[in-house]
Amino acid sequence: MTDENSLIDRIIAGEQQLYAELINRYKGYAFTIALKILQNRPEAEEAAQDAFIKAFNSLSKFNREAKFSTWLYRITFNTAISYKRKSKVIFQSIDNVHIAQRHEGEGNVEHEDKKRFIELAMRKLNDADRLAVNLFYLQEFSLEEIAEITSMQANTVKVRVHRARQRLAEELKGILQKEALTL
């Protein structure tokens, strides 16, 4: 933390090249957060880059009450949300999504299908719920940190994670039933 603070001080003092160290440290999570919201890799990459640029331009305003990472992820979350609002996303109901049938062997295919079904169910969640559940399962963030990133109360995050799991289970059940009928 102190090491990070002194690094930030040096960047503010003019050693801008040191910012690359912070980018390398946090780009994975920042990109993951943007990706979970935008569901599109090129857009998520652009949003994450934009978030790093915004953070750099506001570095002198960072008050160090929270961790740098939490502050950065909050900027990333807000940037991704504003990207989502701007982009003309065509929403497609998962009820209308045609799930391709495969006749290959079981095992991997079944695993891949499950993964795909869960991704479809995930899209049904709203951005805050999806991000809360993803961050929670990454096991890296406490509920308090997730709350800070998403500008919610810790209790609200807890409820959202719980509710999002239930919703995912219901959606998955629906998809699996539908899939069974098409076989």
| Joined tokens for residue 17 | 């090249």
Contact 157, 146 (CB under 8 A): yes
What CA–CA distance (Å, rounded) separates 155 from 92? Answer: 31
Q: Which stretch binds other proteins (CB under 8 A): 1-9, 60-68, 94-102, 130-138?
A: 130-138
Work out whether 77 is an interface residue with other proteins (CB under 8 A). Answer: no
Considering only 7, 94, 152, 176, the residue that binds other proteins (CB under 8 A) is 176
Rg (CA), the chain: 19
AA identity, residue 180: A
Q: In angstroms, rounded to a whole number, what is the distance separating the alpha carbons of residues 47 and 182? A: 39
Q: Which two tokens stand for residue 26?
A: 């946090």
Nearer to other proteins, 8 or 143 (CB): 143
Among 92, 126, 142, 151, which residue interacts with other proteins (rule: CB under 8 A)? 142
Q: Is 48 in the site for other proteins (CB under 8 A)?
A: yes
Evaluate whether 171 touches 164 at the Cβ level (below 8 Å).
no
Q: Does 29 bind other proteins (CB under 8 A)?
A: yes
H or E element: which one contains 137? helix 127-137
170 binds other proteins (CB under 8 A): yes
Q: How many CB atoms lie within 10 A of CB 164?
A: 23
**Min. distance of Cβ 92 from other proteins in angstroms?**
21
The site for other proteins (CB under 8 A) is made up of 16-17, 19-20, 23-24, 27-29, 31-32, 35, 44-50, 52-54, 56-57, 79, 82-83, 86, 114-115, 118, 121, 133-134, 136-139, 142-144, 154-155, 158, 161-162, 165-166, 168-170, 172-173, 176
